[in-house]
């Protein structure tokens, strides 16, 4: 789940604990274009305060108005649909043809929001099963491949970190990368056996391990929802970890460095008996070209490329670093002289 929906869980749990009436709204189905995906959440307090989002704003306004009018009396779950007609889609600011189906759930202390939040904050991936007729909810272990399911009677939502990221090296760049990645719903592990780099590590919500990177890759049992980013510039640390990662189904494997250094790295990896197809999976230089120079900008560049690949976008269509720099090098400098 993303950071917006995690904020919904935290805030709604706090409101319920404070004795307020809260309506939890979950997107359960979309047709056509939609502003938010299935599973997106919104919480509305009885006085109209909101956290989260299920659309561009107009649907939220309608739900807030409904909560103000009915919030003190609503006790049963309800299914509502917005955007069935073109007029209604325009009224609620939905894209052309867009339709959203939502489940409205009045929360109580028995809804288990605090227990759900504890599970998520400890890094567990859990499924919440809500029976709409009774309003009774239970928690169960979930797998990364699980998704939202709704049959009109039972709603099953998935909560917790869906993606993992292993970062080799505890550098300043790693801190910015980790901080942003946590906000993008990654469970982040920083691996660096060098004491001089890990002694002052202080990024909350990130796991720090001091084992050798190749051992860490094997121990993490990487799957299709994992990304590996090597940032040390030290072949003794980066190369062995990359060798193991390139054998895994991780969706992204990249290494920091210039085009020349990455070319040398690929030659070294061939000595490890990796196939050309495996080596071709290595991204490097990593990131999308945005003219980044500072560590925070470089972190944004790297995560932009990772996000593109995670979402099925071909990064070569949006100029990765190596392509963009080559294009710039071939472009004559602009002259300020008048013809």
Question: pLDDT tens digit string along 247-268?
Answer: 999 999 999 999 999 999 999 9
Is the pLDDT score of 208 beyond 90?
A: yes
Q: Which residues pair with 138 in a beta bridge?
A: 129
Domains of the chain: 3-159 (no CATH), 163-323 (3.40.50.720)
pLDDT band for 75, please (50, 70, 90 cuts): confident
Q: State pLDDT tens for residues 32-41.
A: 666 678 899 9
- Average pLDDT over all residues of the chain: 85
* pLDDT given at position 152: 94
Mean per-residue pLDDT for 151-174? 92
pLDDT of residue 294: 95
Tokens at 52, concatenated? 């989260």
pLDDT at 58 (0 to 100) = 72
Quickly list DSSP for 17-59: HTT--EEEEEEEEEESS-SS-TT-EEEEETTS-EEE-SSSSHH
Report percent pLDDT > 90 for the chain: 55
pLDDT of residue 32: 66
**Measured distance CA(127)–CA(338) in Å, rounded:** 66
At residue 336 the predicted structure's pLDDT band, cuts being 50, 70 and 90, is: very low
ω into 128 cis (within 30 of 0): no
- 288: tokens are 């999308």
Tell me which of 143 and 173 has the higher pLDDT: 173
Confidence tier at 85 by pLDDT (50, 70, 90): low
Q: Residue 93: pLDDT above 70?
A: no
144 CB neighbour count, 10 Å cutoff: 16
More confident position, 25 or 311 = 25
Q: Cβ distance 203 to 197 under 8 Å?
A: no
Q: How do residues 133-144 score in pLDDT, each as one tens digit?
A: 999 999 999 987
**Rounded to two decimals, what is the model's pTM?**
0.64
**Cα–Cα dist 159/148, whole Å:** 10
Residues 104 and 22: beta-carbon distance below 8 Å: no
**Dihedral of the CA atoms 193, 197, 200, 204 (nearest 10)?**
-70
Of 324, 154, 172, 186, the closest CA to residue 252 belongs to 186
Q: How far apart are CA 302 and CA 308, in angstroms?
A: 10
């Amino acid at each position: 789940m993303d950071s917006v929906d995690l904020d919904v869980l935290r805030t709604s749990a706090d409101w319920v604990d404070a004795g307020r009436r809260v309506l939890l709204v979950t997107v359960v189905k979309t047709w056509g274009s939609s502003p938010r995906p299935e599973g997106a959440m919104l919480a509305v307090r009885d006085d109209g305060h909101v956290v989260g989002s299920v659309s561009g704003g107009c649907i939220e306004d309608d739900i807030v108005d409904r909560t103000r009018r009915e919030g003190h009396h609503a006790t049963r779950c309800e299914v509502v649909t917005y955007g069935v007609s073109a007029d209604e889609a325009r009224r609620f600011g939905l894209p052309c043809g867009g339709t959203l189906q939502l489940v409205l759930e009045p929360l109580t202390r028995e809804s288990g929001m605090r227990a759900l939040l504890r599970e998520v904050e400890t890094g567990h991936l859990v499924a919440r099963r809500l029976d709409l007729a009774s309003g009774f909810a239970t928690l169960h272990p979930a797998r990364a491949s699980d998704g939202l399911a709704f049959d009109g009677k039972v709603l099953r939502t998935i909560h917790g970190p869906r993606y993992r990221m292993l970062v080799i090296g505890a550098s300043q760049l790693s801190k910015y990368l980790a901080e942003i990645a946590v906000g993008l719903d990654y469970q982040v592990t920083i691996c660096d056996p060098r004491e001089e780099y890990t002694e002052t590590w202080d990024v909350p919500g990130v796991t720090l391990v001091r084992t050798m990177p190749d051992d860490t890759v094997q121990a993490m049992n990487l799957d299709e929802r994992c990304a590996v980013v090597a940032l040390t510039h030290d072949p003794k640390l980066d190369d062995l970890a990359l060798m193991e990662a390139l054998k895994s189904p991780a969706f992204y494997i990249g290494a920091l460095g210039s085009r020349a250094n990455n070319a040398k790295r690929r030659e070294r990896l061939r000595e490890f008996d990796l196939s050309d197809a495996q080596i071709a999976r290595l991204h490097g230089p990593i990131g999308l070209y945005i003219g980044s120079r500072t560590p925070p900008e470089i972190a944004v560049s790297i995560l932009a490329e990772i996000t593109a690949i995670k979402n099925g976008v071909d990064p070569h269509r949006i100029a990765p670093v190596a392509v963009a720099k080559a294009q710039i090098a071939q472009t004559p400098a602009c002259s300020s002289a008048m013809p």
